[in-house]
Structure 1
Amino acid sequence: MFLLLISGGLLASDKVISPDNRLIDYVGRWDKSDINNYHSYWGGAYFNITFKGNQVKINLSSAVSIYVKVDDKEMVLFKNVSGWVKITPDSLDNTKHQIQVIARFQNDEIQLTGLVLNNGGKLLKPEKKKIWIEYIGDSITSGDRTSKGNIAAYSWLSGESLNVAHTQISYCGIPLVSGYHYNYKGAPKIGMESSYLNLKQPNHANNPEWNFKNKAPQILVVNLGTNDHNLQVDTTLFSQTITQFIRNLGFVYPNSRIFVMVPFNQSYHKEITEVVDQEQQRDPKVQLIATKNWLNSNDFVDGTHPTDEGHLKVSTKLVQIIKPYCK
């Protein structure tokens, strides 16, 4: 007796599950226009599956670095993988499990074309989170200069600690205000005021608008201004832009609570505080998060980007502030 193998080490009898299967839970900005290839954008996007069995393989149409979490085990990095990839450990027992597959960093884009369970395995109804928090920011929100990229950032850590769904719409070097940018290769050419409207992260030539008629996050956390300060954006222009940005968020997500953080280096502290106080009069769901003295000099890698421990400190503070609204 022999088993017939096909490409990627699959058995001829294996049934490939399409990415449009309703039992796969996608979180983040995903392009689902091709039912045979679901494509993630922005770092930290992920999908969850709940299944009965002891083996899962996923098919990736393009090389990508991903983190995989099985049940409550430690994250495992699969670096620059493509094709059929077995993402479960050999020791997994044949019972109910949960798996999370995460894009490692800002330019890691998951292109999922299918998945396969072991013989007899089956997908189960996903355990979707009731609350969704979206974090909007720059390299700090993306976890740049940390040991694990997006999953070491305060945004990911606080979202996990709060046991909510969470997204990171953030990118290294991005300011809030368009028209200002760094000169290094790959620096975003547009600010978050414009980039937030798009499906894909900056620097994609073909970048359609994100469909804001999709499900809305209950909570938005904005942390912008560090790059604007470095790029010498005028304080008046910054105030005008962040005012409009907050109003735009309120327009597309009228029922969402908006938290606006002062950057950890206190850039535009006065301007952000005044704008939030003003906007709170219009919409009481807008709230300031003052961050003075949250971190000290030892909590930064380079004076701007927090260390892993610094991100953990920020996460702890954020959880205390946001937790009462996660009901």
Structure 2
Amino acid sequence: MAKLVVFILLMIYGSVFASEKLILPSNKRIEYVGRWDKTDPKNYHSYWGGAYFNLSFKGNAVKINLTSPVSVYVKLDDGKMVLYKNVSGWVKITPDTLHSITHHLQVIAKFQNDEIQLAALALNEGGKLLKSVKKKHWVEYIGDSITSGDRTTQGNTSAYPWLCSELLNVAHTQISYCGIPLVSGYHHNYKGAPEIGMESAYLNLKQPNHPDNTEWDFTNAAPDILIINLGTNDHNLQVDTVLFKQTITQFTRNLRFIYPNSHILVMVPFNQAYRKEITEMVLNEQKRDKKLQLINTENWLNSNDFVDGTHPTDAAHLKISARLVKIIKPLL
């Protein structure tokens, strides 16, 4: 069946790829990290910012076929990330000077509404797709614009979750969205603000505001560690302290039900919102949940570490990631 699909694609794309090796997104040697819709074997679709795919290959050229415009970062081997802004169709994502040896390539959704829709890949004639080497551990970060790297130079890839995880050499996911509170029923008034809280949005395949959202399948794998950083938007939206405490309690219990063996770490927001409620919740829940932990962020940042009083600078995200590495590493 797969060979038939490749033949049909070759017929469609014609002589442009007559000398290249065409690869479907369903190829088992490609590693997908994040929330991806794989129901269509000819069009894998990512959701939530910072989703990415990895591939290892031997050759000197790679193209990807994108069915919808998207901004992606591409990292080749140990080089710097290169931004391909608002690209679609066939896009060559390797330099012309690349030597025909073994390489590792990473393609990353830049920000929260960048959705990669991958229809195919093409390698140069004689190129070979190799099996990707999967990371041993996986850390998931749940949060808002701060977790997404809003106001940073490179969006998700310059935010503390990405930076911290790369230092730890672990797979990582950022289930985060600008403006999102934890508690549903509260939302900002600007266009595009999420209309549900993370207590509901976390359960979905797609980020908030998708009209046809579906539930995410949690049965495939479990992160080793989940890190929650929520409360900043709840504070700005004046969510009652009692309601917030009740909701964060239930949210962590829901996560524990979904992931019975994962470590769950709850951060106090950097502006110290709901510090008392979060601390009390963790201390109380630790009586029944030994893998629940509080991250006290007091004095991690100062006034000079914020772009606008709320969002950390690039340098501040580096400071945060350095702190988190010391907390996460012993748990892996």
Flag whether TM exceeds 0.5 (same fold).
yes
Q: Distance in 2 between matches of 1:148 and 1:106?
A: 12
Q: How does 1:26-105 map to 2 (within 5 A)?
A: 26-105=32-111
Q: How does 1:1-327 map to 2 (within 5 A)?
A: 7=13, 10-326=16-332
1:101 aligned partner, one-letter code: V
Cα offset, 1:6, TM superposition: 8.0
- 1:291 is paired with a residue whose SS is coil
Residues 6, 12 of structure 1: 8 Å contact kept = no
Q: Distance in 2 between matches of 1:110 and 1:207?
A: 17
2:243 aligned partner, one-letter code: L
Q: Distance in 1 between matches of 2:285 and 2:255?
A: 12
Q: Distance in 2 between matches of 1:215 and 1:242?
A: 23
Cα offset, 1:81, TM superposition: 0.2
Runs (5+) with no aligned partner, structure 1: none
Q: Distance in 1 between matches of 2:96 and 2:50?
A: 26
- 2:319 is paired with a residue whose SS is helix
Q: Output one character per residue of 1:108-137: Cα deviation in whole Å (capped at 9) or x when no partner.
A: 000000101011111111110010000000
Aligned identity (percent) is 73
Cα offset, 1:91, TM superposition: 1.4
Cα offset, 1:315, TM superposition: 0.3
Q: Distance in 2 between matches of 1:31 and 1:191?
A: 22
Distance 1:284 1:56, change over 3 A: same
CA-based RMSD? 1.4
Q: Give the length in aligned residue pairs.
A: 323
Cα offset, 1:9, TM superposition: 8.2
Residues 59, 126 of structure 2: 8 Å contact kept = yes
Distance 1:299 1:8, change over 3 A: farther
Moved over 6 A (4+): none
Residues 68, 75 of structure 1: 8 Å contact kept = yes
- 1:102 is paired with a residue whose SS is strand
Q: Distance in 1 between matches of 2:81 and 2:14?
A: 24
User: Normalising by structure 1, what TM-score?
Assistant: 0.97
Q: Distance in 1 between matches of 2:245 and 2:191?
A: 28
Residues 19, 124 of structure 2: 8 Å contact kept = no
Cα offset, 1:14, TM superposition: 2.5
Q: Output one character per residue of 1:192-232: Cα deviation in whole Å (capped at 9) or x when no partner.
A: 00000000000000000000101111100000000000000
Q: Output one character per residue of 1:221-274: Cα deviation in whole Å (capped at 9) or x when no partner.
A: 000000000000000000000000000000001010000000000000000000
Runs (5+) with no aligned partner, structure 2: 1-10
User: Normalising by structure 2, what TM-score?
Assistant: 0.96
- Which of 69-78 and 275-284 deviates more? 275-284
2:45 aligned partner, one-letter code: H
2:119 aligned partner, one-letter code: T
Distance 1:130 1:8, change over 3 A: farther
2:115 aligned partner, one-letter code: E
Q: Distance in 2 between matches of 1:84 and 1:321?
A: 42
Cα offset, 1:23, TM superposition: 0.1
Q: Distance in 2 between matches of 1:10 and 1:45?
A: 29
